[in-house]
Chain A
């Protein structure tokens, strides 16, 4: 009984190591750790699993940002044009990039890398559509760019 608990702990320790080791190879170690550790699946995931957890985070952040965009239409109607562009870009992230990343990560990771890089680009373009200081989405888009950077680094470990 004790031996089983010991072994379980050893495995837990070992798996915790994988998250740590993996995050060390990304551009943002702290962000990577906090994203992965916030998901209980990370304790027993391989690299593919970790990548999928992060793609889920991209999807969630994308959906959250789309919510903010919809709010902004009401509170800042004069920003309709750049908000329209952001809506298009973020729908691409959530509907297209995320889907491609999920199927490609398991089969042919380079296409997942392309999708995740594109997600970061779409976020940048969205924010860039506002004149400086006008964007209500800057912290969200910057967070998306950072998560995409980390996710990309993990996907590249699968190549």
Chain B
């Protein structure tokens, strides 16, 4: 070791103590005294540490065998955290039956969605500052104008009359100041009492420090809000003492406190504890930081894109962010940097001291079992209050699950989910319910209605013509005799830890499931994406229902991540099993029980594309016959295009 040798020349010559010892030190131990000298000078700890490290290094060399064995395990763990996994890919490439695969432009160009928001090209990530103003819904987004991968981030901008038909506008904000030179990052809009808009956003400074900046429309009389001005006194907030320079981002929409001040929260972390900082302000230029936090949860890591908003316990309309009262609960949501999962929790907000307490601490924000907006690919989500129609609307960033090589080849990456309304589930009161905005129905073209009864182990083609752009609403019933059989059959053990991921996907057959639809399938079902229910016997003999999307056989391509997504969905007494599926080329969004459990997936078929795409209904249960009553609509394109003056004169498409 180089450092060891460096120690040698500085020997007992200088150290009076060592001189007295040197007589007593035997020849073989001459090298050791150097370390002893340093220990005397510098502090025993440092050297003891160094010595300890040498010892453990020797020990760990011996343990390398063990390390190699555990490395597969750690990779598998990592795979659970982030989808792209070397482990998974190498397994597939071992299969000699898999032909060498290459993407061609026909396959890639099919992947672009028809009615989901995505820029004309290049990379997009987080939704930013959504708002409704002077007749237009505004949507901003993290955008790279130069490549189909993250970088050079600016605020892209688009407007729509109905949250569906979007018009591209020029870029709203670019990194032209020292305080956002390395990125104009995520932020949120607040409406002041006089109806004017302020935007708070995170800038990554020229030194990569995360700061909060204030911006506002240059011309409030412009309904398109084309130009934005940055406050000359930016940044308005810098990382406070004790908070890391890179752990301070994504300010929320502000809400009014009972004392008349505005209040915002910003996610961060202290060691591995995820936290949400709280600031009060009257002018959005100077702030008072609370000594306490809005909330914190240990072992959850950095909280990105924190969102905080009220929901009504009794009514199904949305609420302005400042609303508070006895019939109100508050939601905290955070995006977990460690796992790329969005979690939320419902709780009680205490305005007097700016704190929040979860209703159920065992599923607190960020805990792995905490509730999610979506059990598939869905991150950096953000809500806004739509004062136009009295709704709270949720946007979510849907990234790609394919390789960068494919993204660069096709020239784009990422889409946004269809905006969803969010309300508290007034029946369970323990979870939120999301549903695609009503305006999406304007895209429905022709429809077909079906009533089918399918026995165990059946797959039935559903003839709807083109099957790449669909809206499916379905109701399922399990034949009662079977259910009785199931309950009476004592030899049937309750499925203890059943989950979509561990259950073997849609091909694993149980007594009462899986059953549902196979979308984006080809005629021979060599490629298919099943979206389904699986009913099992849970605790206390109650039927437990999980809702899943299985992308494991969605494509022959081997450079794509193909998870099985899903979760438990509450089904209350008297309810039928219902699901809605939106299919739009490479994105599938599933909603169970009116949006109690939602799953978004990205799929990249190579054969089930264009005219070859088919829809199937299936019942893989062993014992149960299932009745499916459903309607399938062909969906029109939203024809998202750059704004032109003609768009003003054309009446909004409804």
Name A's B-contacting residues (CB within 8 A): 2-3, 5-7, 9-10, 12-14, 16-17, 20, 24, 27-30, 81-82, 84-85, 88-89, 92, 96-97, 99-100, 103-104, 106-108, 110-111, 113-115, 117-118, 120-122, 124-125, 127-132, 145, 148-149, 152-153, 156, 158-159
How far is A156 from B338 in the complex, measured between Cα atoms in Å?
8
B541 at the interface (CB under 8 A from A): no
Verify B6–A121 contact, CB threshold 8 A.
no
The listed residue (A82, A96, A145) touching B100 by CB distance below 8 A is A82
Can you list 11 A-B contacts with CB-CB less than 8 angstroms, sorted by A residue number? A6-B38, A10-B46, A13-B47, A14-B46, A28-B67, A107-B204, A114-B150, A122-B403, A124-B90, A127-B93, A145-B86
B49 at the interface (CB under 8 A from A): yes
- What chain A residues lie within 8 Å of B1 (beta carbons)? 16
Verify B50–A17 contact, CB threshold 8 A.
yes
Q: Quick check: which of B70-78, B354-362, B517-525 contacts chain A, the rest being far away?
A: B70-78
Verify A149–B86 contact, CB threshold 8 A.
yes
The listed residue (A7, A108, A110, A148) touching B86 by CB distance below 8 A is A148
Residue of A nearest to B335 (CB): A110
B456 at the interface (CB under 8 A from A): no
How far is A24 from B52 in the complex, measured between Cα atoms in Å?
14
| Highest count of chain B CB atoms <10 Å: which of A88, A149, A159 | A159
How far is A96 from B144 in the complex, measured between Cα atoms in Å?
14
How far is A106 from B245 in the complex, measured between Cα atoms in Å?
11
- What chain B residues lie within 8 Å of A118 (beta carbons)? 84, 403-404
Residue of A nearest to B73 (CB): A27
How far is A128 from B1 in the complex, measured between Cα atoms in Å?
40
| Highest count of chain B CB atoms <10 Å: which of A9, A85, A121 | A121
Verify B38–A97 contact, CB threshold 8 A.
no
- What chain B residues lie within 8 Å of A159 (beta carbons)? 301-302, 337-338
Verify A130–B100 contact, CB threshold 8 A.
yes
- With A6-B41, A92-B405, A99-B151 as known contacts, state yes or no: A29 contacts B302, CB within 8 Å: no
Verify B150–A100 contact, CB threshold 8 A.
yes
- What chain B residues lie within 8 Å of A99 (beta carbons)? 149, 151
Residue of B nearest to A17 (CB): B53
Name B's A-contacting residues (CB within 8 A): 1, 3, 6-7, 10, 14, 38, 41-42, 46-47, 49-50, 53, 57, 60-61, 64, 67-68, 70-71, 74-75, 78, 82, 84-86, 89-90, 92-93, 96, 98, 100-102, 147, 149-151, 182-183, 185, 204, 208, 246, 301-302, 337-338, 340, 403-405, 408-409, 558-559
Verify B558–A20 contact, CB threshold 8 A.
no
- With A118-B404, A125-B558, A132-B96 as known contacts, state yes or no: A30 contacts B86, CB within 8 Å: no
| Highest count of chain A CB atoms <10 Å: which of B71, B101, B558 | B71
- What chain B residues lie within 8 Å of A17 (beta carbons)? 49-50, 53
- With A110-B337, A121-B559 as known contacts, state yes or no: A29 contacts B86, CB within 8 Å: no
The listed residue (B71, B89, B150, B301) touching A128 by CB distance below 8 A is B89
The listed residue (A92, A128, A132, A145) touching B403 by CB distance below 8 A is A92
How far is A2 from B14 in the complex, measured between Cα atoms in Å?
9
How far is A97 from B407 in the complex, measured between Cα atoms in Å?
12
How far is A74 from B14 in the complex, measured between Cα atoms in Å?
65
Verify A13–B89 contact, CB threshold 8 A.
no
How far is A99 from B461 in the complex, measured between Cα atoms in Å?
46
- With A2-B14, A121-B86, A124-B86 as known contacts, state yes or no: A111 contacts B100, CB within 8 Å: no
Name the distance in Å between A62's Cβ and chain B's nearest Cβ: 13
- What chain A residues lie within 8 Å of B38 (beta carbons)? 6, 9-10
Residue of A nearest to B15 (CB): A2
Name the distance in Å between B116's Cβ and chain A's nearest Cβ: 21
Verify A96–B404 contact, CB threshold 8 A.
yes
- What chain B residues lie within 8 Å of A20 (beta carbons)? 53, 57
Name the distance in Å between B401's Cβ and chain A's nearest Cβ: 11
- What chain A residues lie within 8 Å of B70 (beta carbons)? 27
| Highest count of chain B CB atoms <10 Å: which of A3, A107, A111, A132 | A107
Verify B183–A108 contact, CB threshold 8 A.
yes
Verify B93–A128 contact, CB threshold 8 A.
yes
- What chain B residues lie within 8 Å of A14 (beta carbons)? 46
Closest 6 CB pairs of A and B: A128-B93, A27-B71, A129-B100, A92-B405, A111-B150, A124-B89
- What chain B residues lie within 8 Å of A96 (beta carbons)? 147, 149, 404-405, 408
Residue of A nearest to B47 (CB): A13
Verify B100–A85 contact, CB threshold 8 A.
yes
- What chain B residues lie within 8 Å of A156 (beta carbons)? 78, 338
Verify B405–A13 contact, CB threshold 8 A.
no
Name the distance in Å between B91's Cβ and chain A's nearest Cβ: 10
Verify A24–B149 contact, CB threshold 8 A.
no
Name the distance in Å between A21's Cβ and chain B's nearest Cβ: 8
| Highest count of chain A CB atoms <10 Å: which of B96, B301, B337 | B337
How far is A148 from B208 in the complex, measured between Cα atoms in Å?
24
- What chain A residues lie within 8 Å of B340 (beta carbons)? 110
How far is A6 from B131 in the complex, measured between Cα atoms in Å?
61
Verify B10–A125 contact, CB threshold 8 A.
no
Verify A145–B90 contact, CB threshold 8 A.
yes
- With A108-B183, A125-B559, A129-B100 as known contacts, state yes or no: A28 contacts B71, CB within 8 Å: yes
Name the distance in Å between B62's Cβ and chain A's nearest Cβ: 12
How far is A143 from B635 in the complex, measured between Cα atoms in Å?
47
- With A27-B74, A122-B403 as known contacts, state yes or no: A103 contacts B151, CB within 8 Å: yes
Name the distance in Å between B453's Cβ and chain A's nearest Cβ: 44
Verify B86–A113 contact, CB threshold 8 A.
no
| Highest count of chain A CB atoms <10 Å: which of B14, B50, B149, B301 | B149
How far is A119 from B286 in the complex, measured between Cα atoms in Å?
44
- With A100-B151, A124-B93 as known contacts, state yes or no: A29 contacts B67, CB within 8 Å: yes
